[in-house]
Amino acid sequence: QVHLQESGPGLVRPSETLSLTCSVSGDSISSTVSGGYYWSWVRQPPGKGLEWIGYIHYSGGTNFSPSLKSRLTMSVDTSNNRFSLKLTSLTAADTAVYYCGRGHCITTNCPLDSWGQGTLVTVSS
Amino acid sequence: AIQVTQSPSSLSASVGDRVTITCRTSQGVRDDLSWYLQRPGRAPKLLIYSASTLQSGVPSRFRGSGSGTEFALTISNLQPEDFGTYFCLQDNIYPYTFGPGTKLEIK
């Protein structure tokens, strides 16, 4: 059974860059099942709903939320079975629990069938 | 981006009850819609994908239906572990978008 675990700083200062890593165990990040998984990020501001951030495929292909695209990069480290997110120019609006997840594509849809436990990131000086 | 709405935003029910939550999208998404349950302090858990397919390990008291722009999640014989917040996700067109959630509380 796949297990995902986020890691990163709990507190980041405004205008700085957030770096988060999701370590995957129990499955290969390079798996070609269903054409390969879409390794994804979702965030949830305290007390609010879920926001899809984007995904990266093991091949390096990405797709990002237009609202974050200008500040966002993602990378995949197949050697260490993990993937990462970098979000620049942080503001208080980026304060949220960040989840990593596995998008498992069926046909044209890729529901998130496994999630990490989430990590709270607070943007504050 | 496709807008997703859910109703109701909250509801109270008792163990053993049957409840239905609806999800609407601003444009057709075929059957590319999934449902998730988030218990307090926990990560969301996939319940149903492709509108009506039960995720492995999810009890059969959960049933999804719908296509196009209108979808429903029906939970029969509510159990204590079913209480939490339910989200739908349109996973047809990027950017994926979640519904705002339906909080299901114990009466």
Q: How far apart are CA B6 and CA A39, in angstroms?
A: 26
- pLDDT (tens digit, 9 = 90+) per residue, B39-98? 999 999 999 999 999 999 999 999 999 999 999 999 999 999 999 999 999 999 999 999
Answer yes or no: is pLDDT of A125 > 90: yes
Mean pLDDT of B31-43: 96
Whether residue A57 contacts residue A105, with contact meaning beta carbons closer than 8 Å, is answered with no
Over residues A42-59, the mean pLDDT reads 96
Q: Which amino acid is at B15?
A: V
Spatial separation of the C-alpha atoms in residues A60 and A55, rounded to whole Å: 10
Q: What is d(CA A97, CA B29) in angstroms, rounded to the nearest whole number? A: 28
How many CB atoms within 10 Å of residue A14? 12
Residues of chain A contacting B54 with CB distance shorter than 8 Å: none
- Consecutive H or E run containing A43: strand A38-44
Closest to B43 (Cβ–Cβ): which among A51, A64, A99?
A: A99
Q: In the predicted model, is pLDDT for residue A35 greater than 90?
A: no
Residues A92-115, mean pLDDT to the nearest whole number? 96
d(CA B49, CA B106): 26
Q: Nearest chain A Cα to B31, which residue?
A: A109
Q: Give burial (CB, 10 Å; 0-12/13-18/19+) of A20.
A: buried
Interface contact A52-B89, CB threshold 8 A = yes
CA neighbor of A90 nearest in space, from A42, A122, A51: A122
Backbone angles phi, psi at A66, to 5 degrees: -55, -30
Give pLDDT, residue B73: 98
Closest residue on chain A to B101 (Cα): A49
Cβ–Cβ of A109/B91 closer than 8 Å? yes
For residue B102, the cross-strand partners are B86
Amino acid identity of B83?
Answer: F
Contact A118, B43 (CB under 8 A): yes
The size of chain B, in residues, is: 107
B86 sits in which H/E element: strand B84-90
Q: Which of residues 79-108 of A touch B (CB under 8 A)?
A: 99, 103, 106-108
